[in-house]
């Protein structure tokens, strides 16, 4: 892969990769760091990347691996010495299109916050599958490649995540 192709990749997928980093980390500063680390690693692997492959999936896979490594290192350090919480997220901004009334915006923001909270409370394996499927709109085959698991495992994780979310969000779903 050439530097020009990398620049095109960043232009094409940069926003989506950053958004994924935001959801994984839950706060801006960690997302910024993860996003930067992701692209640094991609640049490091530039000569080994197949430009004909799915670059978005590859970049998401890199971001996920870096994040999991950071969490693992933090957990190890925390066992050694108690420290301040690593994931003390500052929430996510709502980016509306301005076509809703103020009351509708508030209700939608509250519903979105409940859904985000429910997704954040899922176990990491289920949360990652949900984010890749619904947020990044990857199909199960692509998710399997990113997570390095079988397609059946991805389908199972999505099924179990949906069941847990359905239970947690029953109140919200009944209101609509």
Q: Residue range 49-53: average pLDDT? A: 76
pLDDT digits (tens, 9 = 90+) for 69-94: 888 777 766 665 554 444 444 444 44
Which CATH topology does 102-175 take? Arc Repressor Mutant, subunit A (1.10.10)
- Which string of DSSP letters, residue by residue, matches the chain? --HHHHHHHHHHHHHHHHHHHHHHHSSHHHHHHHHHHHHHHHHHTGGG--TTS-HHHHHHHHHHHHHHHHHHHHHHHHHHS----S-----------S-S-HHHHHHHHHHHHHHHHHHHTS-HHHHHHHIIIIIS---HHHHHHHHTS-HHHHHHHHHHHHHHHHHHTHHHHHH-
Which CATH topology does 3-80 take? Rna Polymerase Sigma Factor; Chain: A (1.10.1740)
Q: Which pLDDT score is estimated for 44?
A: 87
Q: Is the pLDDT of residue 150 over 90?
A: yes
When pLDDT is cut at 50, 70 and 90, the band that residue 95 belongs to is very low
Mean pLDDT of the chain: 80
pTM: 0.59
């Amino acid at each position: 892969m050439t530097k020009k192709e990398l620049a095109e990749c960043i232009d094409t997928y940069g926003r989506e990769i950053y958004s994924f980093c935001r959801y994984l980390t839950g706060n801006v500063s960690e997302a910024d760091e993860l996003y930067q680390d992701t692209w640094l690693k991609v640049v490091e692997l530039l000569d080994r990347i197949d430009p004909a492959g799915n670059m978005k999936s590859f970049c998401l896979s890199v971001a996920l691996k870096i994040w999991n490594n950071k969490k693992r290192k933090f957990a190890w350090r925390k066992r050694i010495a108690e420290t301040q919480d690593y994931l003390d997220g500052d929430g996510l901004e709502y980016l509306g299109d301005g076509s809703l009334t103020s009351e509708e915006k508030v209700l939608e923001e509250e519903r979105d916050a409940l859904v985000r909270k429910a997704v954040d409370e899922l176990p990491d394996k289920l949360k990652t599958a949900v984010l890749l499927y619904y947020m990044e709109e990857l199909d199960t085959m692509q998710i399997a490649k990113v997570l390095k698991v079988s397609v059946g495992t991805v389908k199972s994780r999505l099924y179990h995540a949906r069941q847990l979310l359905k239970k947690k969000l029953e109140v919200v779903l009944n209101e609509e």
